[in-house]
Structure 1
Amino acid sequence: MGLHETPLLFDFERVSSEDLTYMPMSVRFNLDRFGLRISLAQWQLLPHPDRALLARFPVDEDAQIEPNFDHALFEMMRTHANLEPEWFSPEPEPAWRNAAAVPEGVLTHSRMAGANVPSVERWGKLDPFKRYILTKLTRKPEASHDFLPAMREFGLME
């Protein structure tokens, strides 16, 4: 699969990420997939066209499909920031990959927001990237302003 024609953005993240000042979820997914970490300040050191290119990479789970994300990121960081991304070991079996169980964070944040908890059936029907996003949005104990809009956009709220 090749690059998307435009940066991959969901409606819920357009306000915060459309100008690419903040990292879109597609970039966060690929960073996590490759075990790379950059700060928001480092992201913002990259020229807008480079950020837009990184946001066009596919979000498929198979790391072999588009192995150029990590190479592009390293080259961009070296060229524009004289830095390299930090490496970490990705979690081998993250909660979002399990279609048979709604992660505890998603359950907790649903309750905190007064929203219906997604059923296992509805959770399992979500695209893995959408499961990743909801799990990522619930990693901190405080509520994310994007959680409910993402739940709505993904069809988990009436």
Structure 2
Amino acid sequence: MGLHETPLMFDFERVSSENLTYMPMSVRFNLDRFGLRISLAQWQLLPHPDRELLARFPVDEDTQIEPNFDHALFEMMRTHANLEPEWFTPDPEPAWRSTADVPESLLTHSRLAGATVPSVERWAQLDPFRRYILTKLTRKPQPSHDFVPAMREFGLMD
């Protein structure tokens, strides 16, 4: 699978990420799948064309399909920030991969937002990247400003 023609972003991200000042979810997904961490300040050290390129990488769970994201990131970080990303061991069974139940954090945030709690069936119908996004947006105790817009965009709210 090749690069997307334009940065991969959902409508709910456009306000905060359109100019790539903030990391789009596609970049966060790829960082997490490769076990890499960079700060927002490090992200912002990269020139806009590099941030745009990183946002064009596919969001597929199979790291063998497109193994160049990590290489590109390392090269960009070394060249423009004289830094390297931090490594971590990715969770081998993250909550978003399971289609057997809706993650507790999503249930809690849905209730806090006054949203209908998604059924297990509806959760299972979401593609893995969308499940990843929703669990990423609900990882902290306080609701993300993107949670309700993402739920709407993914057809889980009116």
TM-score normalised according to structure 1 size = 0.99
Please state if 1:152 is matched with 2:152: yes
Q: Which residue of 2 is the match for residue 141 of structure 1?
A: 141
Structure 1: 4+ residue segments shifted above 6 A: none
Give a deviation string over 1:21-43, Cα, whole Å, max 9, x none: 00000000000000000000000
User: Where does 1:52-131 land on structure 2 (aligned, <5 Å)?
Assistant: 52-131=52-131
- Looking at structure 2, the residues matched to 53 and 100 of structure 1 have their Cα atoms a distance apart, in angstroms, of 35
- Looking at structure 2, the residues matched to 117 and 105 of structure 1 have their Cα atoms a distance apart, in angstroms, of 11
- Looking at structure 2, the residues matched to 157 and 148 of structure 1 have their Cα atoms a distance apart, in angstroms, of 8
Q: Which residue of 2 is the match for residue 22 of structure 1?
A: 22
Letter in 1 for 2:40: L
Give a deviation string over 1:103-122, Cα, whole Å, max 9, x none: 00000000000110000000
- Cα distance, 1:100 vs. partner? 1.5
CA RMSD of superposed structures (Å): 0.4
Q: For structure 1, list consecutive stretches of 5 or more residues without a partner in the other structure.
A: none
Give a deviation string over 1:121-141, Cα, whole Å, max 9, x none: 000000000000000000000
- Cα distance, 1:99 vs. partner? 1.1
- Looking at structure 2, the residues matched to 104 and 55 of structure 1 have their Cα atoms a distance apart, in angstroms, of 29
Counting aligned pairs with the same residue, the percent is 87
Please state if 1:38 is matched with 2:4: no
Q: For structure 2, list consecutive stretches of 5 or more residues without a partner in the other structure.
A: none
Letter in 2 for 1:33: R
